[in-house]
């Protein structure tokens, strides 16, 4: 049962990877990275059950956290061209302050 789920998730991850490499726009790629991360979380959990060591779920939870923060960071970088504090030019352009 877990082998079936692992094979299915692996196929899904391969399909998402094809979209990741052939995505015409940046946002297709970001969406594919986010979807790939979600699939990876499930894949790690299923692999833990498949090996009889469900302690892998800690790693899956950590991967989910990093995936979300990474997606938001990528989007913020490509919107403002800065991850932390914005440069004065882009701040004036975006917020008017």
Partner 1 sequence: MSALDMFIEGLSWVFIVSGSFFAIVGAFGSLRFPDFWSRLHAASISESAGVILLLVGMALQAGLTLITVKLLIIGIFLFITGPTATHAVANAAYVTGLRPKEGTGLEAPKETSTKTEKPKSKVKVKSKPATKRRKPSANGKTRANGTTRSKG
Binding site for partner 1 (CB under 8 A): 1-2, 4-5, 7-9, 11-13, 15-16, 18-19, 25, 27-28, 30-32, 34-35, 38-39, 41-42, 45-46, 49, 54, 57-58, 60-61, 64-65, 68, 71-72, 75, 78-79
The CA distance from 93 to 81, in Å, is 12
**How near is the Cβ of 57 to partner 1 at its closest, in Å?**
4
21 or 97: CB nearest partner 1: 21
How far apart, in Å, are the Cα atoms of 90 and each of 31, 71, 76, 82?
25, 21, 12, 9
Report DSSP letters for 38-63, one per residue: HHHHHHHHHHHHHHT-GGGHHHHHHH
**How near is the Cβ of 90 to partner 1 at its closest, in Å?**
14
**How near is the Cβ of 48 to partner 1 at its closest, in Å?**
9
The CA distance from 94 to 86, in Å, is 10
């Amino acid at each position: 049962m877990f082998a079936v789920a692992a094979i299915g998730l692996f196929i899904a991850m391969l399909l998402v990877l094809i979209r990741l490499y052939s995505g015409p726009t940046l946002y297709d790629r970001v969406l594919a990275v986010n979807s790939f991360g979600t699939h990876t979380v499930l894949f790690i959990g299923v692999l833990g059950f498949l090996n009889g060591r469900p302690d892998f779920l800690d790693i899956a939870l950590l991967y989910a956290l990093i995936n979300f923060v990474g997606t938001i960071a990528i989007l913020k970088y490509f919107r403002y061209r800065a991850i932390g504090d914005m440069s004065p030019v882009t701040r004036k352009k975006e917020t008017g302050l």
